[in-house]
Amino acid sequence: MASKKILLSGVKPTGRPHVGNYFGAMKQFVELQNEFESYIFIADLHALTTVQNKEELEENTAGVLLDYMAIGLDPKNVTIYKQSDVPQVAELAWIFNCLTTVPYLERAHAYKDAIANKKEPNVGLFDYPILMAADILIQDTDVVPVGQDQKQHVEIARDTAQKFNNAFGETFKLPDVLILDQVATVPGTDGRKMSKSYGNTIPLFATDEEIEKAVMSIVTDSKLPDEPKDPEKDNVFALHKLFTEGPEFAELRDRYEAGKIGYKESKEILIKNIKKVITPMRERRQALEEDKQAVLEVLKSGGKTARERAEKKMEEVRKLVGLKLY
Ligand code: AMP
Ligand code: TRP
């Protein structure tokens, strides 16, 4: 039997995940966990570029682990770990740094945005894509499921693999990005990309009240219930695409076009359907939280597996580069 291809992805522990993270990336981790040999990690070293508070980072990291388990990642199928348990990625990132030019990294979106917003980015933010390349390449990854905003980073990982292979010989696989078109960019309550930094999110494990408040705040135009509406231009309908299924969805589209529904009712239907998706996951998360220590064991054992694989790869890399004399 041919061995399974390798899938790897990660989420930064920078606060509560939202439904954009879920549909854009995390749901794929769950759906693909049997088809691939999967490595899913918590990018705590990347989070250090913005979170510089011990308690906050610790809490967020344990939080992402609970999130992963609550959405249905099974540690029997998936190696779940935290990035900092694989220090070899930082070592590999350094080697990649020395093959990467400054002008090349200056073209990366996250860095360009920071400059455009007149922020003074730290070196960690500048080097973010190279650490990410190391995460991906060190595990011989074939596919990386992410949202649209991470596409460029996976391309940088491919470029970096090629640069290394050209300089030192075939060593790294070129990874492919895996992006689902329909959910590449999940919109937030204001129609822009859902993002913590825009304050337009629906948290993935939201309480009923939070769901109601977020949906009621969705920005719409001022069309009356009996006016025909273009569903493709409505922020409420954009979220129905994720949460409302089958005949109910088809009926909704017809009612929009025929001018037979107002935004208030559309929002009420959306609230009902979001609750249907979120409630069981939220309850699972609460149950897991009861025994956080046992859950943390998952990270320890995943860390060991990921680290051992990475160390094997690094042995090869050190030899090729000329760092291993004995
Ligand atoms: P982050 O929280 O930045 O670590 O993002 C985790 C994952 O969620 C990444 O794969 C992102 O591409 C994805 N993601 C974040 N926001 C969205 C969004 N609004 N729509 C789709 N995917 C998203
Ligand atoms: N940069 C990713 C994000 O913000 C997180 C991440 C770090 C990642 N390293 C990765 C994702 C490697 C996929 C593969 O979402």
3-class secondary structure per residue, the chain:
CCCCCEEEEEECCCCCCEHHHHHHHHHHHHHCCCCCEEEEEECHHHHCCCCCCHHHHHHHHHHHHHHHHHHCCCCCCEEEEEHHHCCHHHHHHHHHHCCCCHHHHHCCHHHHHHHHCCCCCCHHHHHHHHHHHHHHHHCCCCEEECCHHHHHHHHHHHHHHHHHHHHHCCCCCCCEEECCHHHCCCECCCCCECCHHHCCCCECCCCHHHHHHHHHCCCCCCCCCCCCCCHHHCHHHHHHHHHCCHHHHHHHHHHHHHCCCCHHHHHHHHHHHHHHHHHHHHHHHHHHHCCHHHHHHHHHHHHHHHHHHHHHHHHHHHHHHCCCCC
Q: What is the pLDDT of residues 44-64, one digit of tens each?
A: 999 999 999 999 999 999 999
Instruction: Place 275 in a pLDDT band, splitting at 50, 70 and 90.
Output: very high
How many Å separate Cα 186 from the centre of its chain? Answer: 12
Please tell me the number of the ligand nearest to residue 8's CA. Answer: 2
Residues 265 and 161 reside in one and the same domain: no
1 located within any domain: no
12 is in an annotated binding site: yes
Contacts of 210 (CB under 8 A, 6+ apart): 202, 203
192 located within any domain: no
Residues 238 and 137 reside in one and the same domain: no
Residues 41 and 87 reside in one and the same domain: yes
Residues 45 and 69 reside in one and the same domain: yes
Please determine, for residue 2, whether its predicted confidence score (pLDDT) is greater than 80: no
273 CB less than 6 Å from ligand 2?
no
144 CB less than 6 Å from ligand 2?
yes
Of 88, 77, 81, 80, residue with least CA distance to 4: 77
Residues 162 and 226 reside in one and the same domain: no
Q: Is 173 left (phi over 0), alpha (psi -120 to 50) or beta?
A: beta
Please determine, for residue 229, whether its predicted confidence score (pLDDT) is greater than 90: yes
Please determine, for residue 93, whether its predicted confidence score (pLDDT) is greater than 80: yes
Instruction: Place 265 in a pLDDT band, splitting at 50, 70 and 90.
Output: very high
9 is in an annotated binding site: no
Domain hosting residue 227, numbered range: 205-285
**Mean pLDDT confidence for 231-247:** 96
CATH number for the domain harbouring residue 281: 1.10.240.10
Instruction: Place 197 in a pLDDT band, splitting at 50, 70 and 90.
Output: confident
Q: What is the pLDDT of residues 181-195, one digit of tens each?
A: 888 899 999 999 999
**Mean pLDDT confidence for 295-301:** 96
Please determine, for residue 1, whether its predicted confidence score (pLDDT) is greater than 80: no
**Mean pLDDT confidence for 289-299:** 93
Give me the phi and psi of 77, to 5 degrees please. -100, -30
Give me the phi and psi of 62, to 5 degrees please. -60, -35
200 located within any domain: no
3 is in an annotated binding site: no
132 CB less than 6 Å from ligand 2?
yes
* The predicted structure's pLDDT at residue 203: 96
191 located within any domain: no
Q: Token digits for 165?
A: 């292979």
CATH number for the domain harbouring residue 308: 3.40.50.620
326 located within any domain: no
Residues 178 and 304 reside in one and the same domain: yes
**Mean pLDDT confidence for 119-132:** 96
- Provide the angle, in degrees to the nearest 10, between the axes of the packed helices 54-71 and 263-289: 100
* The predicted structure's pLDDT at residue 182: 87
131 located within any domain: yes
Specify whether the CB–CB gap between 8 and 136 falls below 8 A: yes
**Mean pLDDT confidence for 217-222:** 95
* The predicted structure's pLDDT at residue 235: 96
Residues 302 and 279 reside in one and the same domain: no
Residues 220 and 101 reside in one and the same domain: no
249 located within any domain: yes
Specify whether the CB–CB gap between 47 and 7 falls below 8 A: no
Residues 67 and 141 reside in one and the same domain: yes
Number of domains in the chain: 2
12 CB less than 6 Å from ligand 1?
yes
119 located within any domain: yes
Cα 9 from Cα 251, distance rounded (Å): 37
Residues 173 and 300 reside in one and the same domain: yes
Cα 84 from Cα 102, distance rounded (Å): 25
Residues 21 and 117 reside in one and the same domain: yes
Q: To the nearest whole percent, how much of the chain has pLDDT over 70? A: 100
Residues 149 and 218 reside in one and the same domain: no
150 CB less than 6 Å from ligand 1?
yes
Q: Which of 21, 82, 185, 239 to mutate to test the pocket of ligand 1 (most atoms within 8 A of CB)?
A: 21
